[in-house]
Structure 1
């Protein structure tokens, strides 16, 4: 029971870290667009350096968001799926080193290679915009450096996101099997099934599974996937807040119910005596 309670306390800290990563991601994205627009109007070396810093910040915040989504999945596995409780010394510190340290190391390597700068985005309608991001133009005119930027972008963004989504998807399936699988819980009525389905839906947003739409933004479903990706992931912080609020209210209700039960037992003992 002590280990379970400690893990529940850790859950709030992990939710907070993910919320902070999402906030930094949104702020850095807005700043990167502003920095790129500023550079196009004033093409000076100091402005170029600012865009490189903003591009590095955007990359770091994105990787931190992916990392904390993976940590959410790992923590849920240890909390809900794993049968035997285990104690990890300095659990939150190790998670923080993974969630913030790994993106910092990756960003440092990319910054040393000087791959950050203005990046041009184009759509099918030939509309374009520029942000501060991983940029082939900042890598110089050498062909191999352009290939290096493309490889880094694929490994640190697309492949990393795919690995996180695969891991969290498996975790969600395991949790779904625990909630909706055969057994005593499966015969408790339609209301319980609906509550479990809503729980899985909320967990899918906490685990960041709607980010998978970014990997589907190609072909005939490009526009639909892009709009859904923008709406759902733009509201991920809101969904996370609602999820934490629901868990907090439920925990308070359980604590109040337990307190009332203990009071009833004490009153019964007094009456019997």
Structure 2
């Protein structure tokens, strides 16, 4: 006990102290003394002996990367501890963790602070946020591996110089991470996670994987979910293989990686859902009127129209449920959903072309089409050809989950669709360009023909409303409204999205109005004497002035 010098009866007397000492604590590092540090370094260092032809500054061949991962399991038996830092070659390092007590297997956390930093083993999940990168291998993966390997282990190898894919895709930080457990691990419910914290990047991050096959990486987002919020990126994948975060550009137009504002995305989603719902309703009415209420034999033109209505109905239906299936996180289900929607879209395009072909053939033959089993032949071509394309793409693995991003990174919409840009451009855009040129040319010819009939007929009146419905009906029947997708560039991009979405969402509604107004005219009259093929000699009175059924055949040539 200390006492002041002024105390009259001090318990303990000490000399006066004139010096004062001030201690300031400024260190920010956590110096743990006699405590359990959650950050552990590997127990030993191992050089993986794999022959590589990589030189300083060169890229590592994809086949060599696969060869390296195949050799990781050989290290487990030579390890003396429970973990080891692995060095392979320049830019290729990693860590292997084995579970010496299989009964106590837990999630394994591996983290590092920079691409050139050594990897550490983390013993609690809370500490991961102090690093800039981390890999989490779930307990479920170890449980699955235990049935095929003697000692469960997880090897995480980091590649900083892996060769680019055919598209020369941009990889975040040039970092490719590969996870190996000595056996194939798929369909994880407790998914493997890769975290990137406080990252600076340009574009939209998207988590991809590659199965290690081929001479170049073939990245796909199948089985991986991307979550990003500002500078933080999280990849959740249901399988183990090679992983990378690919960057999509903000500026370049890509139908498979679109970037629009959140408000525009919400507005377009509402318009599409409401419009497709209404279209399906009115297309159902058209089918009901045709199959249940129609009393006379349908003309060839009407049969073709009903095929188009059926294809369009199924396209709208698959589009409406697409997002629901995508959110189920089922890889197989999403591929099937994408294949079905793609098939019905191609079938719809084909029936647009068939409509144009039929109208041209009617004008050329004067309404007397004498092709044997005409409807059967065009039906087989229109329904079978798209199915062949869909089956081939499904076998090649070109279908999967796609994500529509917003520019503010706050909202995304998942859908099941084609995962390859080149396939999308060739199969979808390329095919529709051919169909559009043919149908648009036919549209101009039909309009010219209708106006010619108007000038040659007298004593008939018409309303502008019926003219507009006639033109809209032809546009929808020939798929002209899909052509607005060609204007989705630059300043016209967002307006064209709205026009394209509105017109095509209500395409079924326009066809219903058109069908309803024309369903009572141009019917095929059955001969009282039972003459065969009476429909080959029927006439129509289609014109902008009379507004009678344009689906039936044109007047016979004299």
Question: Same fold per TM (> 0.5)?
Answer: yes
Q: Is the 8 A contact 1:64 1:99 kept in 2?
A: yes
Asked if 1:208 corresponds to 2:479, the answer is: yes
Asked if 1:242 corresponds to 2:525, the answer is: no
Instruction: Flag structure 1 segments of 5+ consecutive residues without an equivalent.
Output: 1-6, 40-46, 136-148, 256-273
Q: Is the 8 A contact 1:81 1:174 kept in 2?
A: no
Separation in structure 2 between the aligned mates of residue 109 and residue 184 of structure 1, nearest angstrom: 48
Give 1:163's match in structure 2, choosing from 434, 442, 455. Answer: 434
| Greater length-normalized contact order (CA 8 Å, ≥ 6 residues apart) | 1
Instruction: Flag structure 2 segments of 5+ consecutive residues without an equivalent.
Output: 1-296, 526-558
1:197-236 correspondence runs (5 A): 198-236=469-507
Q: Is the 8 A contact 2:469 2:514 kept in 1?
A: no
Q: Is the 8 A contact 1:179 1:196 kept in 2?
A: no
Give 1:172's match in structure 2, choosing from 414, 421, 443. Answer: 443
Residue 387 of structure 2: aligned partner = 104
Separation in structure 1 between the aligned mates of residue 454 and residue 479 of structure 2, nearest angstrom: 30
Residue 355 of structure 2: aligned partner = 72
Give 1:128's match in structure 2, choosing from 395, 412, 431. Answer: 412
Separation in structure 2 between the aligned mates of residue 80 and residue 230 of structure 1, nearest angstrom: 32
The alignment's TM-score, normalised by the length of structure 2, stands at 0.38
Residue 119 of structure 1: aligned partner = 402
Separation in structure 1 between the aligned mates of residue 454 and residue 480 of structure 2, nearest angstrom: 29
Q: 1:176 to 1:81 in 2, by over 3 A?
A: farther
Q: Offset at 1:213?
A: 1.1
Residue 529 of structure 2: aligned partner = none
**Per-residue Cα deviation, 1:168-200 (whole angstroms, up to 9, x for no partner):** 11001111221224x882574895595656533
Q: Secondary structure at the match of 1:85?
A: coil
Structure 1 runs (4+) greater than 3 angstroms displaced: 80-86, 123-127, 186-198
Aligned pair count reads 228
Asked if 1:185 corresponds to 2:455, the answer is: yes
Separation in structure 1 between the aligned mates of residue 395 and residue 454 of structure 2, nearest angstrom: 57
Q: Offset at 1:125?
A: 5.1
Larger strand fraction of residues:
2
**Per-residue Cα deviation, 1:13-64 (whole angstroms, up to 9, x for no partner):** 111111111111111112221111121xxxxxxx211111111111111101
Q: Is the 8 A contact 2:314 2:344 kept in 1?
A: yes
Q: Offset at 1:104?
A: 0.2
Separation in structure 2 between the aligned mates of residue 123 and residue 79 of structure 1, nearest angstrom: 48
Residue 53 of structure 1: aligned partner = 336
Q: Offset at 1:250?
A: 2.5
Larger helix fraction of residues:
1
Give 1:27's match in structure 2, choosing from 292, 299, 317. Answer: 317
Q: 1:13 to 1:125 in 2, by over 3 A?
A: farther
Q: Secondary structure at the match of 1:58?
A: helix
Q: 1:225 to 1:184 in 2, by over 3 A?
A: closer
Say what the alpha-carbon RMSD is for the aligned residues.
2.7
Q: Offset at 1:120?
A: 1.5
Q: Offset at 1:251?
A: 3.0
Q: Secondary structure at the match of 1:249?
A: coil
